[in-house]
Amino acid sequence: MDLERLFQIQRLLDDRILENKGLIEQDLLPMKILALQVELGELANEWRGFKFWSEDREPRTAKRIPDVAHFDKTGEARYIKSNPLLEEYVDCLHFILSIGIELGCEDVKPAIRKTAVNFKGDELTVHFNEVKYRASGMAFVANKKTEYQVLVGCFLGLGEMFRFSWKQVEDAYYAKNEINHERQATGY
């Protein structure tokens, strides 16, 4: 995965948001950390593996949504396939990159770190908890750059545990980044 390129693209979006919302020179780190925590919760919901009370614990990796911009010959909307788990992972990645920009850590070289070996539900739950712990701790640790590097490594390890290819992640990131720019253009 080309993290350097992703940071560059994220910086363009962040700069646009800061300019549009009049937030230049404001410390947004606490809000970005909270936003990441919320997105991690949404990612966990799409994964579903922690839902011990449910019979349906399969990850949400396929969804059909109507593509209202394109219709077939009968006038019906065509459907496009979506991967909600990947989409939520990428939403987290946006905030992780944005936090890195806020901390001046765009040169991070994380070692992918996994707290599990065979990636069953329990191990994924433990790993999720570590990622959430690392994200929460960003606001309170003295050496934020070191903690950020560990967070990125843990998060990338989570992506590997989900069996995402780096190409899948990058492609989904680029697609979501485009949507985020469109949202800024339309006053989201």
DSSP of 138-165, one letter per residue? TTT-S-HHHHHHHHHHHHHHHHHHTT--
Q: Enter the tokens of residue 71.
A: 């219709």
Q: Enter the tokens of residue 74.
A: 């009968």
Q: Enter the tokens of residue 26.
A: 């404001």
Provide block-wise average pLDDT over 10 residues at a time, the chain (188 residues).
Answer: 94 96 93 97 96 94 72 69 95 97 91 58 85 91 90 94 95 96 88
Q: From CA 110, how far away is CA 166, in angstroms rounded?
A: 14
Q: Where are the domains of the chain?
A: 3-53+84-185
pLDDT for position 56: 94
pLDDT for position 32: 97
DSSP, collapsed to helix, strand or coil, labels residue 14 as helix
DSSP tally for the chain: helices H, then strands E: 6, 2
DSSP, collapsed to helix, strand or coil, labels residue 70 as strand
Pick from 97, 88, 93: nearest CA to 10: 97
Superfamily of domain 3-53+84-185: Type II deoxyuridine triphosphatase (1.10.4010.10)
Q: Enter the tokens of residue 126.
A: 């433990």
pLDDT for position 104: 93
Q: What is the pTM of this model?
A: 0.88
